[in-house]
Every structure is written in structure tokens, then in C-alpha cells.
Amino acid sequence: MLSAHGNHILLKANEKNSILEFFWFCDCLEVNVKMATTLAYVGYILALIGGILIVVFALLGLLGSAFLIFSPIAFLGGVIYSLAGIVIGIICIIGARYVSTLVWGIILLVLGLIAGGLGGTLVVLGALLGLISTLIKSPPP
């Protein structure tokens, strides 16, 4: 146990282990914060690339649906699917910046599952890394 008297800090002989454990905890906490920051950055990059891919594939689907002139229902379905993909991709691009927060991590996880494909998979991976970094940064109870 540490006790402070004036400008001096006294350490009792039987409590050296607790002080060493305290410093070890501080070192582990610093490593966890660095690792959480790195995971959040990788999650940000993955979610951003995934969101861009979702938008690109949705735009290509929108351009491709212009050639479906044989069925108005198929044309309408393709347009709606592509517009939904564009909206989901834009939300993923905007939310990629906040992937290390709990709420945005969950939102990006759900949007990636809805979008599907390569872009959706990257968004899901980025959201999972962001959620893991959030859990690493949070202090133990």
C-alpha cells in the first residue's frame, strides 16, 4: 500500500507485489489502448473500402438495369435494389469514420449484412474490428 507523507511516498515491504502488479496493469492498459487504436484504424479502412465497393456495384447495377426493357417489373426491382445499395453504401462511407463507437459499429454491422457481397463483407469485418476495439478500450468492471 502506498502512503503519502508530504513530498515522500512510503512503500511498505509486504506490498511490493501489489505495486509491481499496478505497474504491470498500467503497461497492459497502454498496450491495449495501442492495439485498440490499431484495430479501429484497420476497421475504418475496411469499412470505407467496403462502402465504396457497395456504391460502385450499386451504380453498375443501376446502369445495367437500363437494358432490362423486356420487363417493367424487373426494371423497377433493379432500380430500387440499386438505389437502396447506393444509400447503404453512402451510410457506410459516412459511418466508417465512427467505427470505433459502439452504436456505429452495430449500425455498420447490420448494414453490411443487408448489403451482402464483397463490399458488405468488408463492412462487416470493419465493424467487427471496431466493436472489438471498443471492448478493448473499455475499462474492466
Of 132, 96, 90, nearest to 115 (Cα)? 90
User: Domain total for the chain?
Assistant: 1
Question: What phi and psi values does residue 56 have, to the nearest 5 degrees?
Answer: -65, -45
In a domain, 97, yes or no: yes
In a domain, 120, yes or no: yes
Residue 64 pLDDT? 80
In a domain, 68, yes or no: yes
**Could you state, in chain order, the average pLDDT of each consecutive group of 10 residues for the chain (141 residues)?**
45 48 49 77 95 95 76 81 95 94 95 95 96 82 63
In a domain, 128, yes or no: yes
Count of positions (residues) in the chain: 141
In a domain, 39, yes or no: no
Q: Please, what's the b/e burial string for 17-37 (b: 16 or more CB within 10 A of its CB; e: otherwise)?
A: eeeeeeeeeeeeeeeeeeebe
Residue 45 pLDDT? 95
**CA 47, CA 20: separation in Å to the nearest integer?**
40
Is pTM beyond 0.95? Reply is no
Residue 8 pLDDT? 44
SS3 68: coil
Q: Which residue has the cell 515522500?
A: 8
In a domain, 33, yes or no: no
**CA 74, CA 120: separation in Å to the nearest integer?**
23
Domain that holds residue 60: 44-133
